[in-house]
Amino acid sequence: MIIEPKTRGFICTTAHPEGCRENVRRQIEYVKSQPAIDSAQKVLVIGASAGYGLASRISMAFSGKAATIGIIFDKPASGKRTASAGWYNTAALEEFAHEEGLYAKTINGDAFSHAVKEETIALIKQDLGKVDMVIYSLAAPRRTMEDGTVYSSVLKTTGESYTNKTIDLASRKVSDVTIPPATEEEIANTVKVMGGEDWMDWIKALKEADAIEDSAVTVAYSYIGPELTHPMYTNGSIGMAKNHLFQTSKEISGQLGIEAYISVNKALVTQSSAAIPIVPLYITVLYKIMKEQGNHEGCIEQMYRLYHDKLQKDSVETDEEGMIRLDDLEMLPQVQDEVMKVWKTICDENIEQAADIDGYWEDFYRMFGFRLDNVDYAKDTDPNVDILSLK
């Protein structure tokens, strides 16, 4: 079949297997072109199929030469429906890993569930003995508990409504958007989904099963951003969840004896960030400025720098609160001062000059395997692709 991008809102409902494979190949080539990561050798990546999780797995496997187990929640192709991008990404990663003699296996299922935790632990015990790093990169909108209760997260403020600029990326029109405050129940549900409870459950389960080294390190991802996004992110419902995630890192380190860190990453085009009001417009402005200043990074550059520079085997670079600041380039004064200058005047008339909308769309489509210059999108392509370890 000829596979073309079909978008609905902030997601693409199709994915291209050859494009996803090429996207993974390029990320692998990038990390292999850099100095090798000297870190963990047996790594579990929870949320491994796209974005930061995928880039983390690629960095640790192809630069650090680590054995990796990835947890994904993705769909294979069915009839005329393509597989999800995460499915194709994982299939490509395993293919390239096996070509280089690297151990790479994947479990496809709900990472929140006891069943997936038990299956993962059994695989670790069977193949690796114990892991020495756990990367928690889960970005799910809802969580189903063992009793069937479903909790959903919301992207709202806390306290008062907040109005600021946003963009309709399809029409490239700037307008105001008002984000309403979340109820106490909505905040609690968001913390339940996106906070640190499941991260703690994972580390506890691994400890109890003797499937994690005492010297292991675990890291989860967060975002802080500039003041203009604080009311609906850092100080919003999602920020309350991220605060809980940070407190959980302290509890994992103190109660379980496993070094746990939060990495505060840069704003980038991901399936998660695309859904947050105000943030896509901010990203388009940020991209233009950082590209002009020569300090722009994508997911793979960020994750390589995290594991090569910030989270080394014998030293971890943190701020005064103990967080790893991988957003250090984004938050440079010369970057943020310029962002605020542009933000004050940005409108429909100057949007093309003031923001990098084309760069946003390029990153968006590449997440799903489209718009890569050396992929033939006009040819018939089989959407059915196997993940080797799931055959």
Least confident of 19-23, 41-45, 77-81: 77-81
Q: For residues 93-103, give the mean pLDDT.
A: 98
pLDDT at 64: 96
Residue 88 has pLDDT above 90, yes or no: yes
Q: For residues 89-107, give the mean pLDDT.
A: 98
pLDDT at 168: 87
More confident residue, 186 or 275: 186
What's this model's pTM, rounded to 2 decimal places? 0.96
Q: pLDDT band for 22, please (50, 70, 90 cuts).
A: very high
The CA distance from 306 to 30, in Å, is 14
The CA distance from 268 to 261, in Å, is 20
Q: For residues 267-278, give the mean pLDDT.
A: 79
Average pLDDT over all residues of the chain: 95
Sequence-distant (6+) residues with CB within 8 A of 380 are 1, 2
Q: For residues 207-230, give the mean pLDDT.
A: 95
Query: Which residue in 290, 292, 269, 291 sits closest to 280, CA to CA?
Result: 269
The CA distance from 305 to 35, in Å, is 10
What is the dotted CATH code of the domain comprising 7-372?
Answer: 3.40.50.720
Residue 272 has pLDDT above 80, yes or no: no
What are the residue ranges spanned by the domains of the chain? 7-372
Q: Is-catalytic flag, 88?
A: no
Q: For residues 269-297, give the mean pLDDT.
A: 89
**Torsion angles phi and psi, residue 46, rounded to 5:** -95, 110
pLDDT at 127: 98
Q: pLDDT band for 233, please (50, 70, 90 cuts).
A: confident
Would strands 131-136 and 104-108 be described as parallel, antiparallel, or unpaired?
A: unpaired
For residue 8, the surrounding DSSP H or E stretch is strand 7-8
> What is the share, in percent, of the chain residues with pLDDT greater than 70?
100
Q: For residues 152-180, give the mean pLDDT.
A: 91
Q: Which of 162, 233, 287, 360 is catalytic?
A: 233
Q: For residues 227-245, give the mean pLDDT.
A: 91
Greatest extent of the chain over all pairs of C-alpha atoms, in Å: 61
pLDDT at 278: 87
Q: pLDDT band for 51, please (50, 70, 90 cuts).
A: very high
pLDDT at 151: 97
Tokens of 96: 């390239």
pLDDT at 56: 98
pLDDT at 315: 83
Residue 275 has pLDDT above 80, yes or no: no
Residues 119-147 pLDDT 10s:
999 999 999 999 999 999 998 899 999 99
Q: What is the dihedral of CA 284, 226, 232, 220, to 10 degrees?
A: 90
Residues 346-391 pLDDT 10s:
999 999 999 999 999 999 999 999 999 999 999 999 999 999 999 8
Q: pLDDT band for 269, please (50, 70, 90 cuts).
A: confident
- Say which amino acid occupies 76: P
Residues 304-340 pLDDT 10s:
999 999 998 778 999 999 999 999 999 999 999 999 9
